Structure 1
Amino acid sequence: MKPKAPKPLPTALLVLSLVLNTPGHAGVSGDELPNIGDSTGALITPAQEQALGRAFMRSVRQQARLVDDPDIEGYVVQLGQRLAANSDSPGYPFAFFVVDDPTINAFAGPGGYIGVHTGLLLAARNESELAGVLAHEIAHVTQRHLLRAYEATQRMSLPTAAAMIAAILLGAATSSDAGIAAATAIQAGSIQRQLNFTRANEKEADRIGIQILARTGVDPYGMPGFFERLQATTRLYGSRMPEFLSTHPVTTSRIAESLARAEQYGHQGRRDSLTFQLVRARLKVLGSSDPARTLKEFEALANKKDAPPQARYGLALALARNGDAGRARRLLQALLRSDPDRIIYRTSLAELDIDDGRPRQGLKRLADTLKLYPGDITVSRYYVRALLRNGQAEQARSLVLDLLKKQPRDTPALYRLLAQAASATNRPWETRAATAEIYYMRGQTHAAISQLKQALGYKQLDYYERARLEARLNQFSREAGDDKEAH
């Protein structure tokens, strides 16, 4: 899971980035929601926003490398959903994901898609700091700040607008820079009119975000504390400004205001959680490009008196990655005995058993865990993978099909598992169809069309499945036509 270095942002894209990131001069005070009138609603309907969001996410998957670890991804999703449930729009379909990138950054895209970089996860010292960033991004969505910037994309096709927004938020160049540059130049006048919103937006996102933290039972000081520490580190060491600060301008007065807002609630919420620290340790180990060095670091931490569980957990993972499965197992077993309900200990030990040639033990552990936590997506993903590795593809296929019915958002990880299960159970048409969905969710619509055409060539398809695939083919073909016209 080595992070992929970000590509430089094209000059043309920097123009549009001002829409989202340049401080303006308006101010917002009080706790009432701003009256944005009908102007944003006229720019984009909820259905259009969701369509743009889905297209945006496809562009993100095409341009960036996302973390596919069930424990890391699952933790961020669960924390994000807890916070979103305590926002002013608890029914909004938020989706959270982790970008495998060492820069300190997070962003909100259209349709409630919120991304956080691995660099920010590692930079946060406790859960309240990470929650503060997520709450801030949730507030950008609930307060409809992004909609005010969509005016500049009104004349663009959906694929072009989505690709442009994704490129700006990710800080990455795409193969369609020329088309984006032309579209951006045309919209320069509209962009300029948006500049006076962002300083007010940032302050409002701070204020609403702190409300969300307090409602969720998380220490509201996490947000201003994290911003202040990032700013101080940059100033003290003269280091390059973290990407998050360049896209979310922080001033001393803004930090002071957010601290004052947090003081209204006090330190009433939870500051940290063991799960956050365990996920952070897992990320350090799995993302390390030098496993031997990481092992030494965790050995030093775990050998200290009263070493915390995350130090011993990180050591166990580092040992496993360096080939010492026996010692890793003993550490994980000890951790599990002391905290038997901790899911991440159970999944890590099961994963170790399977990797170390003990598939039955691993499968039983995961099956027992699913009985305790029925429907848990993290455990289910591990269980499907274990079933496939143990030659139980029919059961794996049945489980993953059930999971796909329950997931509200596109999930490439589940379709990858379905493709494997279909292949192992001699259902080549289903393998093609699942692969088509994976390509589509990565923004590779033409490749998806090719896979669907091959799937439709199999005579084994029943009437309903053939009709479903034909409908998807028609949808993909229409979208591919729009994309071709845009370029």
Structure 2
Amino acid sequence: MFRQLKKNLVATLIAALALGQVAPAFADPADTLPDMGTSAGSTLSIGQEMQMGDFYVRQLRGSAPLINDPLLVQYINALGMRLVSHADSVKTPFHFFLINNDEINAFAFFGGNVVLHSALFRYADNESQLASVMAHEISHVTQRHLARAMEDQKRSAPLTWVGALGSILLAMASPQAGMAALTGTLAGTRQGMISFTQQNEQEADRIGIQVLQRAGFDPQAMPSFLEKLLDQARYSTRPPEILLTHPLPESRLADARNRANQMRPVVVQSSADFYFAKARALGMYNSGRNQLTSDLLDQWSKGNVRQQHAAQYGRALQAMEASKYDEARKTLQPLLSAEPNNAWYLDLATDIDLGQKRANDA
């Protein structure tokens, strides 16, 4: 596995360094980036963007800690496509990925690909806040910020790839640390290639907030989420990672708040799927923050019906993760009896049965 990791990392760097060069005639088209021409050339075509996006997706699948949980993947893609259906200037198919990462971040890259960190489930108070992050990233894609600034960034690209090389060297000594560093470098590279000027960020906010409203979410969720990030940056010695790749001056928050205030106020309830997805992400991909998860489930148990059901589901999930299969089954059974076709319940019931069987066989 370590050897394959190094191979993937080296392949990524070689392809990255080849950016802007003509691919050799003997190269496998599936493993090479398209010819971008010289720095004086025109912006990428849509076809080139999609080809580059496909390449990066292969590297992502081969090396990054992707979460392939079918329920979570289905949820974020359904949420993402709901937003995309209300966006303008959509020129590529969209795909949404979830990475098991405890840092709050998200990024978009070529070909309509959007990556979310699992920590966003912990940090988003409601579905509209999670959707606001996705709408922002979708807007970076539809406005082609990455392609529009590609030419300007080619001159500084060698410095960027030095960071990737450092990550590869680190991976040879520590695969886990190296992969984390490379994931961060590439995320920062794809986002950093557009320099994340205030203009680009505010444009993504402005268009994203329109998409958010059209899709039926609360437009106030965008400034409220940005304010949470700023508060954490103010009162923490270490700012959220998302602020390193998405600069957030006070003017950006003020602009987002002003635009949201101009829109019709709405009351939006988070879907049941949001609460189930959040409970699942916290229960299975939350880096040992068990007390935080328990506190949230206690809070939900006193909330609305959707929150109460998600709290009970979350407790059953916690019991299953702790190999307390009888307790997990007992906690889940009332929910399953009431909704026998609920995919979240059925999946957990299957996991409990499989875990119990493995325990008995052992």
CA distance in 2, matches of 1:345, 1:67: 19
Equivalent runs, 1:338-349 vs 2, <5 Å = 338-349=338-349
Alignment of 1:445-464 (within 5 A): none
Residue 201 in 1 paired to residue 200 in 2? yes
In 2: Cα distance, 1:293 partner to 1:224 partner: 28
User: 2: distance between equivalents of 1:331 and 1:201?
Assistant: 48
Cα distance, 1:270–1:297 mapped onto 2, change above 3 Å:
closer
Determine the structure 2 residue equivalent to 1:259.
257
Pair 1:174 & 2:168 matched = yes
- Percentage of identical aligned residues: 38
Separation in 2, partners of 1:46, 1:346: 41
| Distance of aligned partners of 1:166 and 1:326 in 2 relative to their CA distance in 1, 3 Å threshold | farther
Equivalent residues of 1:298, 1:318 under 8 A apart: no
Contact 2:53/2:113 (CA < 8 Å) preserved in 1?
yes
Contact 2:150 2:194 in 1 (8 A): no
Structure 2 alignment gaps of length 5 or more: 1-12, 17-38, 172-191
1:265 is paired with a residue of what secondary structure? coil
| Cα distance, 1:49 vs structure 2 | 0.8
CA distance in 1, matches of 2:152, 2:59: 18
The CA deviation at 1:164 is 5.0
Deviations 1:231-255 (A, max 9, x none): 01221x2331111112111122211
**TM (normalized to structure 1)?**
0.54
How far the C-alpha of 1:91 sits from its partner, in A, is 5.7
The residue that corresponds to 2:139 in the other structure is 139
Pick from 276, 285, 291: which aligns with 2:274?
Answer: 276
CA distance in structure 2 between the aligned counterparts of 1:277 and 1:132, rounded to whole angstroms: 16
Name the residue aligned to 1:401: none
Q: Deviations over 1:31-76 (max 9, x none)?
A: xxxxxxxx99922111111111111222333442111211122211
Q: What code does the residue aligned with 2:168 have?
A: T
| 4+ aligned runs moved over 4 Å, structure 1 | 152-156, 163-168, 192-195, 288-307
Is the 1:220–1:269 Cα contact (8 Å) retained in structure 2? Answer: no
Output the CA distance in 2 between the equivalents of 1:247 and 1:353.
Answer: 43
Secondary structure of residue in 2 paired with 1:173: helix
- Cα distance between partner residues in 1 of 2:41 and 2:270: 38
The answer to whether the 8 Å contact 1:219/1:269 transfers is yes
The CA RMSD measured in Å over matched residues stands at 3.7
Shift of 1:332: 1.7
Q: Shift of the alpha carbon at 1:86? A: 1.0
Distance 2:141 2:127 in 1: 21
Instruction: Encode CA deviations 1:106-156: one digit per residue, 9 max, x unaligned.
Output: 001111111011112211111111100000000000011111232257699
Counterpart secondary structure, 1:43: coil
Q: How much does 1:296 deviate? A: 6.1
Residues in 1 aligned to 2:124 and 2:80: alpha-carbon distance in whole angstroms = 15
Within-5 A mapping of 1:28-177: 42-90=42-90, 92-151=92-151, 173-175=167-169
Structure 1 residues 289-368: aligned runs within 5 Å:
289-290=287-288, 308-357=308-357
Is the CA contact 1:81–1:94 (under 8 Å) kept in the aligned structure 2? yes
Q: Distance in 2 between matches of 1:139 and 1:254?
A: 16
**Cα distance, 1:356 vs structure 2:** 2.7
Provide the residue aligned with 1:222 in structure 2: 221
Paired with 1:114 and 1:280, the residues of 2 have a C-alpha distance of: 19
Aligned-pair distance for 1:207? 0.8
Structure 1 residue 316: Cα displacement: 0.1
Letter in 1 for 2:88: D
Partner AA of 1:248 in structure 2: H
Kindly state the Cα deviation for residue 339 of structure 1 after the two structures are TM-superposed: 4.1
After superposition, the Cα gap between the structure-2 partners of 1:343 and 1:267, relative to the gap in structure 1 and judged at 3 Å, is: farther
* Amino acid corresponding to residue 253 of structure 2 in structure 1: I
Match of 1:250 in 2: 248
What per-residue deviation string (whole Å, max 9, x for no partner) do you get for residues 423-453 of structure 1? Answer: xxxxxxxxxxxxxxxxxxxxxxxxxxxxxxx
Change (3 A) 1:305 1:126: closer
- In the alignment, the residues of structure 2 paired with residue 84 and residue 52 of structure 1 have an alpha-carbon distance, to the nearest angstrom, of 21
Asked if 2 retains the 8 angstrom alpha-carbon contact of 1:80 and 1:96, the reply is: yes
Which secondary structure does the structure 1 equivalent of 2:114 belong to? strand
- Indicate how the Cα distance of structure 1 residues 296 and 42 shifts in structure 2: closer, same or farther if over 3 A, else same: closer
Amino acid at match of 1:205: A
Larger Rg: 1
Q: What count of residue pairs does the alignment treat as equivalent?
A: 299
Read off the aligned partner of 1:207 and give its amino acid letter. Answer: R
SS class of match (1:250): coil
Alignment of 1:424-435 (within 5 A): none
The separation in 2 between residues aligned to 1:268 and 1:305, in whole angstroms, is 20
CA offset digits 1:364-418 (Å, max 9, x no partner): xxxxxxxxxxxxxxxxxxxxxxxxxxxxxxxxxxxxxxxxxxxxxxxxxxxxxxx
- Structure 1: unaligned runs, 5 residues or longer: 1-12, 17-38, 178-191, 359-487
Q: Give the Cα–Cα distance (whole angstroms) in 2 for the partners of residues 164 and 232 of structure 1.
A: 32
Amino acid at match of 2:266: Q
The more displaced of 79-88 and 252-261 is 252-261
C-alpha spacing 1:204/1:302, structure 2 compared with 1 (3 Å) = closer
- More relative contact order in 1 or in 2 (CA 8 Å, sep 6+)? 1
Q: Letter of the aligned partner of 2:255 in structure 1?
A: E
Number of the residue aligned with 1:22: none
Equivalent residue, structure 2, for 1:366: none
